[in-house]
Amino acid sequence: MTRKRRRLVVVLLSVGILGLAAALVLNAFEDSLVFFHSPSDLVEKPVPPGRTFRLGGLVEEGSYVKQGVDISFNVTDLAESIPVKYRGLVPDLFREGQGVVAEGQFDENGTFVASNVLAKHDENYMPPEVAESLKEAGHWQEQAGDE
């Protein structure tokens, strides 16, 4: 009985200590574990022009302009907004009001020049008719806008 009790304590302690160590490591490396930075992050910790990173947020409503393969839009987190320029094709899910992650760097004017644009899907799934009736009933923002 005592040997079993001792093994139980050793296993629980080891897993507990490992968990603590993992938590500390992950906490310390938080900045490199995030996949993208939001516009508000960039106001807090500005990134110098020429350094490559990923910028993520929503495509601002009314900001999407397309001229041939040259497109521009604003990435917003509803607090801050950053203008983005991109040359190329965008994924199917790319649209205004939807999540987006752009990889690239700032130019001297503070415009984010993207070399790659990915669409980010949110956690809401529904048939088109339901989306339509939600919009009509005016419940749309609380459904989709809690990002």
Partner 1 sequence: MAIDLHRYANPARFLRIMGAIFPWVAISTAVLLIAGLYLGLFVSPEDYQQGDTVRIMFIHVPAAWMALSIYTMMAISSAVGLIWKHPVADLSAKAAAPIGACFTFLALVTGALWGQPMWGTYWVWDARLTSVLILFFLYLGYMAIWESFDDPSKAAKAAAILVLVGVINIPIIKFSVDWWNTLHQPASVATMDGPKIHSSILIPLLVMAAAYMSLFMSLFIVRVKSEILARRLRLLQMNKLQE
* Contact positions vs partner 1 (CB under 8 A): 4, 7-8, 11, 14-15, 18-19, 22, 26, 30, 33-38, 56, 90-94, 98, 101, 117-132
CB of 105 to partner 1, least distance (A): 18
CB of 23 to partner 1, least distance (A): 9
HEC profile for 7-59? HHHHHHHHHHHHHHHHHHHHHHCHHHHCCCECHHHHHHCCCCCCCCEEEEEEE
**Identity of the residue numbered 45:** K
The residue among 34 and 108 lying less far from partner 1, judged by its C-beta, is: 34
CB–CB of 98/71 below 8 Å? no
CB of 130 to partner 1, least distance (A): 5
The residue among 123 and 136 lying less far from partner 1, judged by its C-beta, is: 123
Query: Going by DSSP bridges, is the β-strand pair 53-59/99-106 parallel, antiparallel, or unpaired?
Result: antiparallel
The residue among 98 and 105 lying less far from partner 1, judged by its C-beta, is: 98
| CA 72, chain centre distance (Å) | 18
The residue among 129 and 136 lying less far from partner 1, judged by its C-beta, is: 129
